Amino acid sequence: MSKDKDHPLITLARTGDTAAYAKLVEKYQHMVFTLALKLVGRSEDAQEVAQDAFLKAYQALNSFKGESKFSTWLYKITYHKGLDLLKKRKRTVATDSIDEGFNINIPSLENTWDALEKKEQSETIKKAVDELQAADAIVITLFYFEELSLNEIAVVLSLTPNAVKVKVFRARKRLAHVLRSKLEPEIIEGYEAYN
């Protein structure tokens, strides 16, 4: 618990200080909303899931023992709330079939990436992650953006760390594949200009 920076706010919120909890909501609103959106796909649904997750977290605040970070615990609640909504709508988390049979020329991709403007980079990676299936997008967001460890992602997704490792490996390959398709026109353009 002591390693968690949110500990003072959690302690205050437990005593009924809603202003302290509002600060936690403020801090994690975008990440929780992003996770929910990656999972359920629609903005309205994501808002419902994010709201439910924060409410559930407030209700269960006294049962939070601090075995993991508050954020990990909150993402786990969000993930399960998202699954509940998908179940209610009779939908499932979309996953790709295993597709590892493609080679990626990283140096060429990297050169093209570096040549892009910052705004273009931001748009390209956003589009690429949006094109991924929900399960991959969540893993990529948690691993690269939120920089959670494999063990922490395992807690969020209720999986073993080894299963998460495999998921990260596959999601990484798929993202690289999508990125390559996004950057291909730029690569060809650069090649033609060079010749």
Partner 1 sequence: MKKQEAKELNAFLEKTTKALELEKAPKGFVRSVMQQVELQKENTHSIGYIPLVSKTLWIGIGCAVVALFWFLGFGRNHTSTDWFSTFKLNTIGNMDAFNSFSNSLSVSDSTIYALSGLLVFLGIQVIYLKQFFAKREVLL
Residues that bind partner 1 (CB under 8 A): 16, 18, 21-22, 25-26, 29-34, 37, 43, 46-47, 50-51, 54-56, 58-60, 63, 76-77, 80-81, 84, 104, 106-107, 109-110, 113, 118, 121-122, 124-126, 129, 140-141, 144-145, 169, 172-173, 175-176, 179
* Residue 141 Cβ vs partner 1, minimum distance, rounded to whole Å: 8
- Strand, helix or coil for residue 51: helix
CB neighbours of residue 62 within 10 Å: 10
* Cα atoms in the 13 Å half-sphere on the side-chain side of 156: 26
* Residue 26 Cβ vs partner 1, minimum distance, rounded to whole Å: 5
Specify the residue, 144 or 192, whose C-beta has the smaller distance to partner 1: 144
* Residue 131 Cβ vs partner 1, minimum distance, rounded to whole Å: 13
Specify the residue, 91 or 172, whose C-beta has the smaller distance to partner 1: 172
Give the C-alpha separation, 47 to 104, whole Å.
Answer: 37
Burial degree of 7 (CB within 10 A; 0-12, 13-18, 19+): middle
Alpha-carbon radius of gyration of the chain: 19
Are the C-beta atoms of 100 and 177 separated by less than 8 Å? no
Specify the residue, 69 or 173, whose C-beta has the smaller distance to partner 1: 173
Give the C-alpha separation, 132 to 156, whole Å.
Answer: 19
* Residue 76 Cβ vs partner 1, minimum distance, rounded to whole Å: 7
Give the C-alpha separation, 66 to 71, whole Å.
Answer: 10
Specify the residue, 107 or 195, whose C-beta has the smaller distance to partner 1: 107
Give the C-alpha separation, 21 to 160, whole Å.
Answer: 31
* Residue 77 Cβ vs partner 1, minimum distance, rounded to whole Å: 7
Specify the residue, 86 or 195, whose C-beta has the smaller distance to partner 1: 86
* Residue 146 Cβ vs partner 1, minimum distance, rounded to whole Å: 9
Structure token pair of residue 100: 């590892």
Total count of residues recorded for the chain: 195
Specify the residue, 5 or 87, whose C-beta has the smaller distance to partner 1: 87
